[in-house]
């Protein structure tokens, strides 16, 4: 999701687009972009501009999730009109998996109703319907509101084995275990442990390691993430895709939190950070990455 939206921001939106993405204002401005880019409702589904439509759907949906709360839903049920495409189940009483927000239809309606604020109306109606809309936390919604891992996903497996794998790593290749106290200073210790254990020329990102070494370094990945979550907000993500040299998020575990002002994701991919430690032989790089991730 993150790299797709970044690509849409860079190449799908016009150079004059001023609004910050993931904001209500961005949805208002996006309406005009959709109407300029897609001449007819048929252009939404005929495949003539698939990348743009995909980016618009993602940005609309993620903006609502960040401000309102909720999750994406996908079904192959032949009895529903949204079969085979992602829809939104927002954290409001009137929306369920049986009656979700069909974002693709919002894009189409933006074209068929040129005089209406289709996206803004959808945002405002659901934002006002939140159970806590008038409560003291209303202004804080949208930060780390993503749902827990769905059973059977790579993320669910990653989280289910977290404690066991960390214990095995700490008492095995990373022993003595008592130095791993989840302090921020221990991240520099971790960087030195990596350099002491792996000689110059070791390149994890290129695949130049044995399966045993990869398992050991995956323990370090877990430790980096859990240490960051001990001190700062955020959560684990794990892409279901395969690893890709051009996309650091694909097929890797990462920690991510939302910027409280822009609601844009701030992420750390521990595997990439460890790869930089190995390549540059700099043990402090993990601690520096933690500083970049920390709320200002």
Torsion sign, CA atoms 24, 27, 28, 30: positive
Q: How many CB atoms lie within 10 A of CB 191?
A: 24
Spatial distance between the Cα atoms of 57 and 292, rounded to a whole number of angstroms? 30
Spatial distance between the Cα atoms of 237 and 3, rounded to a whole number of angstroms? 13
pLDDT in tens, 251-267: 789 998 877 666 677 88
In percent, how much of the chain has pLDDT > 70?
Answer: 89
pLDDT in tens, 151-179: 888 899 999 999 999 999 999 999 999 99
pLDDT in tens, 183-198: 999 999 999 999 999 9
Inter-residue contact 92 to 130 (CB < 8 Å): yes
Spatial distance between the Cα atoms of 114 and 240, rounded to a whole number of angstroms? 38
**CA 64: distance to chain centroid?**
14
Which alpha helices (DSSP H) does 69-185 contain, by range? 103-112, 118-128, 154-160, 162-171
Inter-residue contact 219 to 166 (CB < 8 Å): yes
Q: What DSSP state is assigned to residue 139? A: G
Asked if the model's pLDDT at residue 140 lies above 50, the reply is no
Which alpha helices (DSSP H) does the chain contain, by range? 2-7, 24-37, 42-45, 50-68, 103-112, 118-128, 154-160, 162-171, 186-197, 211-231, 270-280, 285-293
């Amino acid at each position: 999701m993150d790299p797709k939206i970044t690509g849409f921001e860079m190449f799908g939106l016009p150079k004059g687009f001023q609004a910050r993405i993931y904001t209500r204002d961005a949805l208002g401005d996006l309406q005009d972009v959709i109407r300029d880019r897609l001449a007819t409702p048929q252009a939404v589904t005929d495949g003539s501009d698939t990348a743009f439509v995909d980016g618009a759907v993602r940005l609309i949906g993620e903006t609502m999730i960040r401000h309102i709360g909720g999750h994406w839903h996908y079904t192959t049920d032949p009895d529903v009109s949204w079969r085979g495409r992602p829809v939104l189940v927002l954290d409001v009483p009137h929306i369920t998996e049986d009656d979700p927000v069909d974002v693709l239809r919002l894009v189409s309606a933006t074209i068929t109703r040129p005089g209406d604020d289709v996206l803004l109306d959808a945002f405002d109606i659901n934002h006002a319907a939140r159970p806590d809309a008038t409560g003291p936390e209303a202004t804080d919604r949208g930060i780390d509101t993503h749902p827990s891992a769905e059973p059977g996903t790579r993320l669910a497996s990653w989280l289910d084995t977290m404690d066991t794998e960390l214990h095995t790593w700490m008492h095995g290749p990373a022993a003595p275990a008592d130095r791993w106290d989840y302090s921020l200073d221990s991240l520099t210790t971790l960087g030195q442990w990596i350099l002491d254990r792996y000689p110059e020329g070791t390149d994890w990102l290129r695949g130049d390691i044995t399966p045993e070494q990869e398992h050991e370094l995956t323990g370090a990945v877990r430790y980096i993430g859990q240490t960051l979550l001990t001190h700062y907000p955020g959560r684990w993500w794990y892409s279901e895709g395969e690893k890709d040299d051009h996309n650091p998020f694909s097929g890797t575990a990462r920690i991510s939190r939302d910027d409280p002002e822009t609601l844009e994701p701030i992420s750390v991919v521990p595997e990439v950070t460890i790869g930089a430690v190995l390549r540059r032989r700099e043990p402090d790089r993990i601690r520096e990455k933690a500083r970049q991730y920390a709320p200002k």
